[in-house]
Amino acid sequence: MNLVRPDARGPLGATALDRLARLAAERGGSVGVDEALALLLHDPEVGYYGRRVGTVGAAGDFSTAATLHPALGGAIAAWARARARELSLPRPVWLIEVGAGSGELADGVLRALPFWERRAFRYAIVESSAPLRGVQERRLGRRADFLGTVAEALQAAGGNALVFSNELVDAFPFRVVERRGGEWLEVRLRVEGRRIAETTGGPVPPPGEWPDAPEGQRCEVRAPYRAWLSEWAPHLRRGRVLTVDYGGLFPDLYLGRRRGTLRGFVRHGRVTGADVWANPGRQDVTADVNFSDVVRWGIELGLAPLSLVTQREFLLGQLPSLARRAARERALAFVLDPEGMGGATLVLEQGPRDAGP
Ligand X SMILES: C[S@@+](CC[C@H](N)C(=O)[O-])C[C@H]1O[C@@H](n2cnc3c(N)ncnc32)[C@H](O)[C@@H]1O
Per CB under 6 A, residues contacting ligand X are: 49, 56, 64, 66-67, 98-101, 105, 126-129, 132, 166-168, 171, 228
Minimum gap (Å) between residue 129 Cβ and ligand X: 3
User: Helix 104-112 crosses helix 71-86 at what angle (to 10 degrees)?
Assistant: 60
Residue 113: CB partners within 8 Å, gap ≥ 6?
Answer: 77, 80, 81, 121
Say how far apart CA 67 and CA 341 lie, in whole Å.
13
What minimum distance in Å lies between the beta carbon of 43 and ligand X? 12
- Which lies closer to ligand X via its Cβ, residue 30 or residue 67? 67
Report the nearest approach of ligand X to the CB of residue 232 (Å): 10
Of 7 and 167, the one with the shorter C-beta distance to ligand X is: 167
What one-letter code names the amino acid at 192?
E
Which residue lies nearer to ligand X by CB, 67 or 217? 67
Cα 8 to the chain's mean position, in Å? 22
93 or 169: CB nearest ligand X: 169
φ/ψ region of 196 (left if φ > 0, alpha if ψ in -120 to 50, else beta) reads beta
C-alpha torsion angle, residues 49, 55, 58, 63 (rounded to 10): 40
Please identify, using beta-carbon distances, which residue of 126 and 344 lies nearer to ligand X.
126
As measured in angstroms, the least distance from the Cβ of 288 to ligand X is 13
What is the Cα–Cα distance from 245 to 64, expressed in whole angstroms?
10
Distance CA 341, CA 279 (A): 26
Name which of 51 and 188 has its Cβ closer to ligand X: 51
- Which stretches of 119-204 are assigned E, i.e. beta strand? 121-126, 145-147, 160-166, 175-180, 183-192, 195-203
Q: Assign residue 158 a region: left if phi > 0, alpha if psi is -120 to 50, beta otherwise? A: left
CB of 97 to ligand X, least distance (A): 7
Minimum separation from the CB atom of position 178 to ligand X (A): 25
